[in-house]
Structures are given as C-alpha cells and as structure tokens.
Chain A
C-alpha cells in the first residue's frame, strides 16, 4: 500500500510527466488553449494510458518475455496503443455518442502522444508489478492532466495579456511551462522509490 501511495504522489507531483520528464509536450502545447478541450484531452489520456499499460504489461510479461522476444517491445507496444485507440473510438461511437462527441476528436491525437508509449515502456523498464503498473499509469496520466489543466487555466488569461508579438503563442507558453516546472521543483526529493 505504501509503495502504491508513493507511486501516486511521485508521478503526479515529483516526476510530473510533462514538467519533469518531458513526455507529451506536443498535446501539452497543442490543446491547452482552452480549458474545455484540456479537460476533454485529459479524460481521454487517463483512459487510454491506463488501458494501454494494462494490455502491454500483460503482453510483455506473458508473451514477449517467455518467448524471448523482448526486442519486439517497441513495435508491439505502439501497435497495441494504436489499435486500442481505434477500438475505443469505435466502441464509444456506438455506445455513448455524447461521450464520443466530447472525447472523439482527441482520440486519434493520442496515438502520437509519446507520454502513452513512455508510460507503457517505463512500466516494464522500472520493473513494476501488475497492480503497481496500473497505479503508475493512472498517476502519470493524472500528472499529465494536472499540468495540462493548470496550463489551460493560465493560457486563457495569457490570451488577454499584452506582450511583444514575437513572444506570442508557443514562445510564451514554453516560458510559462518553465516557470510552472520551477514551481514543481519544490516537490523534488520529497519522495523516491
């Protein structure tokens, strides 16, 4: 239990996927313009990351390792993620059109969100057990969402700020992310596994 709680705290705050590990920067910059889209993306990422880690962990432990195929890791993991995204999209469209309207447009984007592949790879590289992997994926995706939503909140206000036009857009977003990252430095060293 203690390990699980540590994993949750560490991957939400201490080793935040976006602000400390640099995973998922593209969506972090791309969809943080509006709070609404940020929340939609967050939900989609939490769902896909957790599902993907669940599947890849089982696949890795019970298929790739026993058959000595560890080197096929990257290919299989990315295929799992891509098919999972496709599957979720199809199922959502059939079962819950409202949810699909909310998350649908974000799903294709997730395949190229490196945070998802990173979480699946790290779960096996850090040698987490099954439950730990799931919790790790959940925490990492919540950490991602936290950063994304904070950023969206800031950017909605930045829109109205007066600044030199060379800074506008991505430049100021990156600098803001840097300051946010400094704030998260405060969590460094509080816990480690």
Chain B
C-alpha cells in the first residue's frame, strides 16, 4: 500500500463507511440538540471537527509519553482544554452561534466520537495519520449534522440559512404552514430515525 493511500483511507473512512453517526451512533446529543437550523448544525460540526483535530494531534504527538493507566483522564483534559478554547473563541467571534448552541458546546467533551478516535486510533498511530483520521471522523459527523439540520429547517421552519434575518431564505411563500413538529424535540428524533432507516436502506442497496 502506498503511503499516500493510507492517509486518504484514514480520511475517507469516517465519511460513509464508518460514519460516526449513521454507523456507530455516536454524538447523538448535539446531533439532536442543535439541528433546528442548518447554520447551527454546521457550526456544531465545525466546532467538533476542530476539537477532534486538536485532540488527535496532541495525543498522537505525546502517545509515547502518556502512561497507559492514566490515559483516559489525560485524554479528557486535552479534549476539555480544546473545548474551552473553542467555547471562548465562539463567544468572542460568533456570539449568535454561541448563544444558540448553549450548553452543547461544553458537552462536546462528552462526545464519544472524539474519545473513541483518541483511544482507538491516535494513541497508537503517527501524527499525520491520526490527524487525517480525526478530520475524517469530524467531517463525517458534520455531514450528518448538516443533513439532519437541512431536513429539520426546511420542514420545521420552511426556511434555509435562518434564523438570522439577514441571510434567511423563505422557501415556500407566505402562506406556507411549517410542520412545527420538526422544529421541536419530537421531530428531531423522528427525522433522525427516518434518516437512519434511509441510510440502512442505501447501504444495503449499494452493498457498502
């Protein structure tokens, strides 16, 4: 196997074949909690990806120095540090997004997707491969967030790029009655359940 291929493989594995959401059902809380609007879902995806890259980078760099017995607490501290930095930056530069994501930003710490990558991959592999793997997992997660948020915003609000009045696009004209249920918690569960079923169906179809 050519070395270049390895990186590409590490990167793309997380997108579909081992998608953290659709295949492994990781990171469900933010996935359901912040996908009322496309912008929020995308923001959460980017924030999570940033933390994953940071975490994989540091952990793979220090992989030979971290004692086995206390690796989990160290991973947690590393991740929590990055999360705090991300939260501060969001508050400083994207206040509206920070307000909307609320407590789900600190909860990125608990996203098993990140700890999973650190434990299973970064703690044993060289830096570049680990980062490629983390980026792939982050992008896969972002993809899932964006798809679910797209469905929920279109059905639940009848808009795109909301709720910021400067960018919002009304899709269906003034007499459209949005399916409010999709903007609410119940709709998040149902939409994700149906998306999962759709994903399963496609996986079967194309024999992935």
Contact = CB atoms under 8 A, between A and B. Distances in A.
A21 B33 contact: yes
A75 B196 CA distance: 33
24 contacts: A19-B185, A22-B28, A22-B33, A26-B28, A30-B25, A71-B84, A73-B84, A73-B106, A75-B80, A78-B80, A78-B110, A79-B73, A113-B110, A114-B111, A117-B106, A118-B103, A121-B103, A122-B103, A166-B198, A167-B197, A170-B196, A174-B190, A176-B193, A182-B181
B197 A182 contact: no
Interface residues on A, range: 35 or more
A165 B76 CA distance: 37
A171 B29 CA distance: 15
Contacts of A22: 28-30, 32-33, 185, 188
Given A171-B194, A178-B189, A181-B185, A78 B109 contact: yes
Contacts of B103: 118, 121-122, 125
Contacts of B185: 19-22, 181
Interface of A: 19-26, 29-30, 71-75, 78-79, 82-83, 111-114, 116-118, 121-122, 125, 164-167, 170-179, 181-182, 185
Contact of B29 (A24, A121, A178): A24
Contacts of B196: 170-171, 174
B104 to A, nearest CB: 8
B76 A178 contact: no
Contacts of A114: 29, 107, 109-111
Interface string B190-208: 1011101110110010000
Query: Does more than half of chain A's interface fall in helix, strand or loop, or is it mixed?
Result: helix
Contacts of A179: 186, 190
B115 interface: yes
Interface string B21-55: 00001111111110000000000000000000000
B200 A175 contact: no
A175 B190 contact: yes
A21 B201 CA distance: 29
A25 B84 contact: no
Given A178-B189, A179-B186, A112 B200 contact: no
Nearest to B102: A125
B84 to A, nearest CB: 5
A72 B184 CA distance: 32
A112 B32 contact: no
Given A21-B33, A26-B28, A78-B80, A178 B187 contact: yes
